[in-house]
């Protein structure tokens, strides 16, 4: 499987797990609690394989973390009515921009 596809699977697992963590209500709801465990196992398992296959750890973690932060923030705003303001949006842009710069630097 292509490295960036593996990374996308790891990100999806982490985002699903983190979102379900809120829905689990401190592990008192079984369905979301199962998604938390399975999602994190998937995320870390796939991320571990990606690193074992030689993907740079700094790039993998930067992309994984930034994409997860952005996705969870968007899910929180859309589905949980969590507030988002221009300062927070600017922070997300800076996080994503930092990852892009890391990737560009890695290409040289």
What are 39-70's pLDDT values in tens digits? 999 999 999 999 999 999 988 999 999 999 99
Task: Name the residue range of residue 53's domain.
Answer: 3-106
Contacts of 43 (CB under 8 A, 6+ apart): 10, 11, 12, 13, 14, 17, 64
On the question of pLDDT at 108 being above 90, the answer is no
On the question of pLDDT at 5 being above 90, the answer is yes
> Measured between alpha carbons, how far is 73 from 95 in angstroms, rounded to an integer?
12
Percent of the chain at pLDDT exceeding 70:
99
Domain count of the chain? 1
Percent of the chain at pLDDT exceeding 90:
84
């Amino acid at each position: 499987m292509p490295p960036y596809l593996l990374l996308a699977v790891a990100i999806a697992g982490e985002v699903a797990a983190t979102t379900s963590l809120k829905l689990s209500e401190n592990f008192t709801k079984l369905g979301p609690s199962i998604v938390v465990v399975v999602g994190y196992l998937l995320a870390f398992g796939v991320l571990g394989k990606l690193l074992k296959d030689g993907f740079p750890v700094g790039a993998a973690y930067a992309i994984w973390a930034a994409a997860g932060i952005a996705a969870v923030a968007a899910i929180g705003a859309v589905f949980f009515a969590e507030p988002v303001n221009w300062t927070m949006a600017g922070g997300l842009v800076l996080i994503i921009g930092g990852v892009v710069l890391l990737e560009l630097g890695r290409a040289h």
